[in-house]
Amino acid sequence: MMNRIFSRSSYVFTIATCLCASMIISGCSSSATTESTDNEAETKTGSVAAIDELPPESPEASFEPPVFEANAEKLLASRLPIERTREGWIRLFDGHTLFGWVIGGNANFRVEDETIVADQGENCLLTTSTQWSDYELELQFQCDEETNSGVFVRTTLDPQDVTTDCYEVNIAPPSNPFPTGGVVQRTKGQTFDTDPEKWHTMNILCNGSTLRVTIDGTVTCELDDATRPTTGYIGLQHRDGRVAFKDIQLRPLGLKNLLADGLEGWTVREGMEGEYRIDDDGHLVVDGGKQQLETKAVFGDFVMLADYKMDDPKSNSGLFFRAIPGDEMMGYECQVSNELIDGNPLQPADCGAGGIFRRQDARVVAGEPKRWNSILLVAEGNHFATWVNGLQVTDIVDTRKADENPRRGLRLEPGSIIVQGHDKTTQATYRQIAVAEKVAAEGGE
């Protein structure tokens, strides 16, 4: 029997219904909907409009939400090497589905041959469901000679003004006021001539007030005043012409290893049988039964990167977050478990590595016994997303009523991080648990 996972694009995917419904209502954003040679045309947008008026019977007038099919083998093949994930790199696009993405308008964004393609429909964005602050983004793109598209960073879901709501790294002909490699209404930059027969590599660094764009190894522009906005979504634009994107990877910046000084900054709960120790390699070893190791500091919205290894497939640990300080494991739990049901990666025995326990199972178990694995967790307001070995496995919004205890309801208040010893079979090793606190989004989005 083939093990397959089916999904539509994120805005109709069942596990993200609440989050994505609001995204559809808000529409999408980008530059002006008609081409112009003056700068004002690239400054503001109003409501989303179709590129051309189309008759109702035209096949280009509307597009059905794309449906995706990917088996476990395909998804697991898109994982990244541990040498890369231990640095924080993840795939924003798994090559087969639009899990973790939202189509913000009526355009034919789709997946073809492990690429995201769009060539018809409204001027709109395909955005990540997760917001990011400081990071390095790397992707490949291909476009026709007259294509007008772009990569939006630190963007709102519905940017109305590219000078305040986002940064638009343009993909456009040399005749455009901001050709490929420039940032619309910020800097024209050094013109980069694209070749429609080639894939080009774009690297965008967002680090505090610095924004730098590099294409095929050439720096096309650099800003040192990128202070508004400071956080937001990542968007891929369809405007005019055909554009394709692939191999979209991101690495968050500013992560600090909470194990760098051993157990300093942590508290072991008294009266439990399990043991925590730092081995000769400086790694944290969890052994011997139920126990919790808790940070003295508290964290609200953050990015966390953890490398773990468990030799026994049945070993079970966990990373609690926004936990009630001093209480016994009263927090959200990011599961650390590689166990499968009947050897099927699409059927986790206990939520699956990266799953948010009792909230959402991992869509595929991407961690394995007897090797180092990486989990990247993003907590932002009531939205949580996780990646295991570079592959996104959860995307969830907690729609419950507010409660101090995350076991009972939504907790937005900062809390501690807890490393769990689950039972006597638990033996887990962590070589890093690194955290970067997130910058709050402007306007509360």
pLDDT in tens, 40-97: 333 333 222 222 333 333 345 478 878 888 899 999 999 999 999 999 999 999 999 9
Among 26-35, 86-95, 225-234, 341-350, the minimum mean pLDDT is found in 26-35
Is 429 a residue whose pLDDT tops 70?
yes
CATH architecture, domain defined by 256-444: Sandwich (2.60)
Residue partners of 343: CB distance under 8 A and separation at least 6: none
pLDDT class of 441 with cuts at 50, 70, 90: low
Q: What's the distance, Cα to Cα, between the start and end of the chain in Å?
A: 43
Q: Which two tokens stand for residue 80?
A: 């990244």
Is 225 a residue whose pLDDT tops 50?
yes
The pLDDT of residue 21 is 28
244: left (phi over 0), alpha (psi -120 to 50) or beta: beta
In this prediction the pTM is 0.87
For residue range 156-192, list pLDDT tens digits in order: 888 889 999 999 999 999 999 999 999 999 999 998 9
Query: CA–CA separation, 96 vs 83, rounded Å?
Result: 23
Q: Do residues 332 and 319 make contact, with C-beta atoms less than 8 angstroms apart? A: no
At 412, the amino acid letter reads: L
**Tokens 């088996």, residue?**
71
Query: CA–CA separation, 187 vs 114, rounded Å?
Result: 32
Look over the chain and give the mean of its residue pLDDT values, rounded to a whole number.
86
CATH architecture, domain defined by 4-252: Sandwich (2.60)
Query: CA–CA separation, 375 vs 226, rounded Å?
Result: 29
The pLDDT of residue 4 is 39
Residue partners of 332: CB distance under 8 A and separation at least 6: 320, 321, 322, 323, 356, 357, 359, 379, 384, 406, 411
For residue range 335-349, list pLDDT tens digits in order: 999 999 999 999 999
Asked if the domains 4-252 and 256-444 are classified in one and the same CATH topology, the answer is yes
Domain residue spans of the chain: 4-252, 256-444
Q: Which of 340, 350, 279, 273 is nearest to 318 (CA)?
A: 350
